[in-house]
Structures are given as structure tokens and as C-alpha cells.
Amino acid sequence: MAVVKAREADINLLARLLRAEAEGEGQQGMLMVGNVGINRIRGDCSDFIGIRTIPQMVHQPHAFEAVTHGYFYQGAREKEKSLARRAVNGHRLWPAKYSLWYFRPEGDCPATWYNQPLVARYKLHCFYEPRAGECDNIYGT
């Protein structure tokens, strides 16, 4: 059962984001990018207040490097669509399970990112979740 509303066009949009942001991280890495995006919609907190849909999340200004820098042009393939559906249906993987941020640093992961604590690194991406008591909506099932 979906944890956020999504039409087929939304699934395609999310799938394109997964591919553009994390294709080199494999299926788990792409699913984790989906986890972060869905958490941003569910959270309705921090930098994501009022983000209620997949298009709003994907196109939030300065939110995703791939969208900002034009790597978002590739079409969604069936494997990315399947991963997008899994994310929409609430399938989450650690360290992205409750994360609202990730990025790919040149070296080691900083202990904090915009004052939020590091959860862990997966391949090249570092994942950060909100401090305790912030953004409690992401902790639901």
C-alpha cells in the first residue's frame, strides 16, 4: 500500500530521478534515493514543508544535483520504475530508512550535514537523518 499518492506519471518522474542521481550505486542505491525523496514528502518539515507530491519533491529548487545540472534527461526504464514503486509503497533500506538528505562528497562523509547527523555511507553517498524530535512524520510505517 502506498505511503504517498502516486500516479503512473509520478512513478516515471521518480524513476528518472533514481536513475539520474544514483544509477552507478546499483539498485539498492537507487532505492535509497527514492527513500529520501519519499521521506521528504512524508516529513512535511525542515526544508520540505509543503512538499506533498512527487513532482514538488523532484522539482524543489536546489534539491537534486541531477535535476539542477541537466542529468535528468534519460527516460525511466522498467527496473527504475519498479524501484520507484517500491519506494512509494514504503520499502525502505538503511541507511536511508529515515534520512532526509544525502550527498556525494569528494572524500569522507562529514559527521553532520546542515547540522543533521550522519547515519552512514552507502558506496559513494552519505546519508543524514533529522535530529531526534524533528520531522517525526518520517518514522511512521
Domain chopping of the chain, boundaries: 8-139
Confidence of residue 44 (pLDDT cuts 50, 70, 90): very high
DSSP letter string, the chain:
--SS---HHHHHHHHHHHHHHHGGGHHHHHHHHHHHHHHHHHH--GGGTT--SHHHHHTSTTS-HHHHTTGGGSPPPHHHHHHHHHHHTT---TTTTT-SEEE--SSSPPSEETTEEEEEEETTEEEE-PPTTS-GGGG--
Average pLDDT, stretch 106-130?
A: 96
Q: How confident is the model at residue 141 (pLDDT cuts 50, 70, 90)?
A: low
Q: If pLDDT is split at 50, 70 and 90, which confidence band does 74 have?
A: confident
- Which CATH superfamily includes the segment(s) 8-139? Cell wall hydrolase SleB, domain 1 (1.10.10.2520)
